[in-house]
Structure 1
């Protein structure tokens, strides 16, 4: 029998259209392994909401592998050291994995490549980020030209099924159990509302199947929080339970000429990977240095306002509904993400990095590239971003995008408010609902303060 081959799994927890798995299966007995490195990423180490998802995703993947006659090896510790140790125990030097673009994973890949025969495959993005180049040969920093270049490269290769036959090793290697890792919350169990999700490859395929009949309405429906108009595929894509190529081909086939608005969102995820490969510290540093001098609020008053924002107690119903949905489910509607982020940055004048950190801790789909690019886009600090002076009016946004039922669902203090008064009960002259706060700051006052801060930074 040939020497075994290690299949190193990270954010690629699937068997279908998984090039590393297919290559490993073709070259020898396969040892699938997942290493839980609790320090990888430093400030962007895996947070609570993602750990919840990881537990369930690994559990389903382990069952899928068992049906193939393979046992998933679980190790905890430094990722590079554990892979090297496993290779020594198994008597092999060959490791197959999908290439990842977060700076910390690229560091680990370099270490392993110097010690073992590391074979990296593509499969986490539609195309390798450095494959797309400007006319001058540089890397793209703006999404629109990136999107046009990507379209010239599309469609991606057709997805392939999981290998029909695969061989495992004889005997057993030391492995943790999922219970050893304590990934699930207990005291308190804040994830009771996460039961809307079905992590794992089967759950990803089911989510795609549910979305396909709605894709032609996506361009309009994605902006309406009270409708189920988004795909909810983002956590499945983040954990690699479905390949972006699979999503692209199914959506393009289902919607044909009307698929572009959704496919642009898949491409935006690719663009995020491109940005963090060019600017690895994009999650902590402004893309535009001119904003380094912007006078963000700090101190006790800012901390109090930040806490009110995280708890959904700002007095702005659409903002509060979004923040409560986030805490309860680990997810927030796309349009509301922009509204809540803009509110923190522009209305409360709190550094976008604090918001990025909160989203990282609470989102099941928290992705380093997407999270950083999205926050800097809203803040106006990014290399491709809105102008800082574009300040969303949350109350106007709420009415424009018909968020009434969404608010009633997530802000029970307002569930009996009828008609358009739901968007701004205070302005409508309604008595203060019991337990619901007054506005933390007026829109006009907040706008003037934000614009003054921008002028100070420019000066």
Structure 2
């Protein structure tokens, strides 16, 4: 862990004036040094002029959607790692809190900077702040430059004949692939000329991490945030996991996924770094080609969701399909609480929600089952589930999280039809056939035989007693019958279809 001194500087007057005005690099969801266009351009200019580079992160909760608790924990760790990386290049990471446009303009005045660089984010609230910043800087005679952000392709490039974004993934991904490889990743700067003394907050004052109770033990046990960890995880995936990805990615009982999503969420890796590393690995080892193609299509789904968010800034609150505005959701605080705590009585559902609480992630296949159970079996509004995921996921992404919930609910783009109701028992038996995933996260069922572990209510009293399970006490009865829940969901769907 980096010495906090590398992240903070006492609020004192500026040191001696450098030979050239500093260049500010505004960091956001791009907490890395490699393939960072704004930083690369600043370091290149600094090498010619001798200008120092000020790496600035601004905590601005008004910039789009404020991160949830788990994401704030990750942010703190990622900033520490980034501060350490910058320190090895003789630079320092400056932390400030407040409205980004005002804060950055203040730092420019304090430091004498004449240029500010940043990577763009193709989301309406972030773009609005960028425009405010450009205006504030221009008034003070400070130049600004925005570089391509965290997407493979800018949204303006993928449009239909009417100029709108695509709402079906397959043609969208075909269009992206037809454009060929994205630009090659940029190298990290070798050194950063020390900046003048600039006042900085400390991470502790931001209170990003939990105090008492400290619920983040499982996150610390599971993750090592930061660019170095992200790159190591990508290498490990391509070397050991990619070959079996097509089949194993749906198996929560196996280590079959990349687990790169939180690293991408915070920009510790860029999409084009992932793209080029994967393509290179497949060229070196053709046996992993099918796995790499499928893996990149998942990267494409992230891209698709970000493009949707660009066109629909209210993706987390408004149905993409307006006919769902009249859907007869049934608020049920007790059922919602049971779902959140992993006490629904359906083992695969409960395992997923407990994995989420402990690790800050949930296996993607299980996410679909868990989400379907909430919106279809329980008829609880998808926005309630999306909000819970937003607060508890370390990889909570402003595009993917609501887009995926709308996809499951049937009200989104390229959505699964509402009448597709996942059977949690069959899903468990198919994708966790021996019950290993359930046994890990629902330990009270660890001694239930594999053929019964996904439906323990079908066990005989003797079988339950032998497994040490008392339904209704050590493990709950199902809070809803699958067949009845499915029938109720289809009836509700029929009502909006008639409407």
Pairwise same-fold verdict (TM > 0.5): yes
Question: SS where residue 340 of structure 2 aligns?
Answer: helix
Question: SS where residue 165 of structure 1 aligns?
Answer: coil
Question: SS where residue 368 of structure 1 aligns?
Answer: coil
Alignment of 1:1-400 (within 5 A): 1-28=19-46, 29-41=52-64, 44-116=65-137, 117-135=143-161, 137-169=163-195, 171-194=196-219, 195-213=221-239, 214-255=241-282, 256=286, 257-258=289-290, 259-298=292-331, 302-400=332-430
Question: SS where residue 420 of structure 1 aligns?
Answer: coil
Distance in 2, Cα, partners of 1:416 & 1:435: 13
Contact 1:379 1:386 in 2 (8 A): yes
Q: CA deviation at 1:217?
A: 1.0
Contact 1:222 1:229 in 2 (8 A): yes
Contact 1:9 1:32 in 2 (8 A): yes
Contact 2:100 2:133 in 1 (8 A): no
Q: Which deviates further from its counterpart, 87-96 or 173-182?
A: 87-96
Superposition TM-score, scaled by structure 1 size: 0.96
Residue 428 of structure 1 corresponds to: 459
CA deviation vs aligned residue, 1:338-372 (integer Å, no higher than 9, x gap)? 00000000000000001000000000000010111
Q: CA deviation at 1:253?
A: 2.3
RMSD: 1.3
Question: SS where residue 162 of structure 1 aligns?
Answer: coil
Distance in 2, Cα, partners of 1:123 & 1:417: 50
Q: CA deviation at 1:135?
A: 4.8
Distance in 2, Cα, partners of 1:21 & 1:355: 37
Contact 1:96 1:118 in 2 (8 A): yes
Q: CA deviation at 1:85?
A: 0.9
Question: SS where residue 419 of structure 1 aligns?
Answer: coil
Q: CA deviation at 1:168?
A: 2.7
Distance in 1, Cα, partners of 2:180 & 2:111: 40
Residue 448 of structure 1 corresponds to: 487
Q: Which deviates further from its counterpart, 377-386 or 151-160?
A: 151-160
Superposition TM-score, scaled by structure 2 size: 0.89
Stretches of structure 2 lacking an aligned partner (at least 5 in a row) = 1-18, 47-51, 138-142, 465-469
Question: SS where residue 24 of structure 2 aligns?
Answer: strand
Distance in 2, Cα, partners of 1:305 & 1:137: 43
Contact 2:63 2:129 in 1 (8 A): no
Q: CA deviation at 1:73?
A: 0.5
Q: CA deviation at 1:417?
A: 1.0
Contact 2:90 2:191 in 1 (8 A): no
Distance in 1, Cα, partners of 2:44 & 2:276: 25
Q: CA deviation at 1:27?
A: 2.2
The number of residues matched between the two structures is: 453
Larger gyration radius, structure 1 or structure 2: 2
